[in-house]
């Protein structure tokens, strides 16, 4: 079935189709982060150190970072649904290999393939969602398509970790392959197809990068994601230093629940208030960082700051991807691939910068590092 946006109702969202995109995002995040939850189990089974198993997450992010831009640029002319199906099928293959292999080298190869597929999926989702609806519903459509990310963080990863501990990590990765096959059938049955760009209208990477607003969105994304990952990566030592080491799980659960509320709020307001929401997200995250910095050992302040942080983060991917799509127009997929690359740079950079801060100045400086990064992003957003 081939459908164009012009055939769609003007007053409602095609939820069945959009939720299939959300499930694609859910599987992508779950595939990326699950090894962290079953790290010890994988280490024992594969007779490999936990540090080396941890590199399976790094390799995944590396695949996304390296592949997103060149793959998206090279496939601009492909029809959208077959391209999305090809990328999603890669998860079924990679997770199946992960579930059955006893070789660490093969495991790394499978994870790298999964990361490549993830880079392509993330580059496609926002543009795909936007093409399914009229322009006045595009922000809400992207918000629905992105809901898989906070759901995976808040529910999927804890559930996958618990399942891995009960049934074994291999079965958990096998079940993800089963979920992926179900998603493939769902997409074939319900997701409309769209043509790729005709040759005369395909934009070069350089041209998209120079479009008005694209570089601004990329800088805002980098500042926000860097700040988030500096703190999220090292929240455990921060809480331990404040005497809250036993409350790490409740704090992360609070963050996940607040993130779900955040993406709901963004979805309800985004089509009429995109710039205000971006500024508000930066401001709220900055306020939460200040709260962490001033009262690092006060449980009430920690949980309040975590709620504000989660609310600001939940809809951030939707906000930046929507802003990118609007700035890039018909070249939205190429612009999204840049967002994917910058997002992964932020993930890697957050771990590196946070580690340097931790080693040289101590854990109490982490929140103020966030304030500096977020202030730079807010300043750029204010000038936009």
**131 token code pair:** 């093409």
Report residues of the chain scoring pLDDT below 50.
1-6
212: tokens are 């008005």
Terminal C-alpha separation, the chain: 40
Question: Partners of 193 in the beta sheet?
Answer: 2
* Euclidean distance between CA atoms 24 and 3, whole angstroms: 20
pLDDT at 202: 60
- The answer to whether the CB of 224 falls within 8 A of the CB of 282 is yes
Q: Which tokens in the block code for residue 314?
A: 């939940």
d(CA 264, CA 315): 8
- What the chain holds in terms of domains, given with CATH numbers, is 12-201 (1.20.1250.20), 205-383 (1.20.1250.20)
Q: What is the structure's pLDDT at 199?
A: 55
Q: Tell me if 323 sits within 8 A of 332, measured CB to CB.
A: no
Backbone angles phi, psi at 193, to 5 degrees: -105, 150
- The pLDDT of residue 51: 76
Tokens of 39: 């790290």
């Amino acid at each position: 079935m081939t459908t164009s946006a012009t055939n769609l109702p003007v007053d409602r969202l095609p939820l069945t189709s959009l939720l299939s995109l959300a499930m694609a995002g859910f599987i992508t995040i779950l595939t990326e982060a699950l090894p962290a939850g079953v790290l010890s189990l994988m280490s024992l089974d594969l007779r490999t150190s936990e540090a080396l198993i941890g590199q399976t997450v790094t390799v995944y992010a590396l695949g996304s970072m390296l592949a997103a831009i060149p793959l998206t640029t090279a496939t601009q002319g492909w029809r959208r649904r077959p391209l999305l199906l090809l990328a999603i099928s890669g998860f079924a293959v990679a997770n199946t290999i992960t579930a059955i292999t006893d070789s660490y080298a093969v495991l790394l190869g499978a994870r790298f393939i999964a990361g490549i597929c993830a880079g392509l999926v993330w580059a496609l989702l926002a543009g795909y969602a936007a093409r399914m609806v009229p322009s006045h519903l595009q922000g809400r459509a992207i918000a629905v398509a992105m809901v898989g990310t906070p759901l995976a963080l808040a529910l999927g990863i804890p559930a996958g970790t618990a399942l891995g501990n009960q049934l074994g990590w291999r079965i958990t990765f096998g079940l993800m392959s089963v979920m992926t096959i179900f998603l493939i059938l769902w997409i074939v049955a319900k997701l409309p197809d769209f043509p790729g760009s005709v040759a005369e209208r395909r934009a070069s990477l350089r041209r998209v990068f120079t479009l008005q607003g694209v570089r601004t969105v990329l800088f805002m994304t980098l500042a926000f994601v860097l700040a988030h990952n500096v703190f999220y990566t090292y929240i455990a030592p921060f809480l331990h230093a404040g005497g809250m080491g036993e409350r790490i799980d409740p704090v992360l659960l609070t963050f996940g629940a607040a993130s779900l509320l955040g993406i709901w709020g963004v979805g309800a307001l985004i089509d009429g208030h995109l710039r205000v929401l971006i500024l508000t997200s930066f401001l709220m995250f900055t306020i939460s960082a200040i709260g962490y910095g001033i009262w690092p050992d006060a449980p009430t302040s920690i949980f309040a700051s975590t709620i504000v942080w989660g609310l600001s983060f939940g809809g951030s991917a939707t906000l930046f991807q929507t802003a990118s799509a609007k700035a890039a127009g018909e070249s939205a997929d190429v612009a999204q691939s840049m967002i994917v690359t910058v997002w992964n740079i932020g993930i890697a950079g957050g771990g590196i910068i946070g580690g340097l801060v931790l080693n040289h100045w101590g854990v109490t400086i982490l929140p103020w590092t966030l304030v500096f990064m977020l202030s730079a992003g807010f300043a750029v957003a204010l000038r936009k």
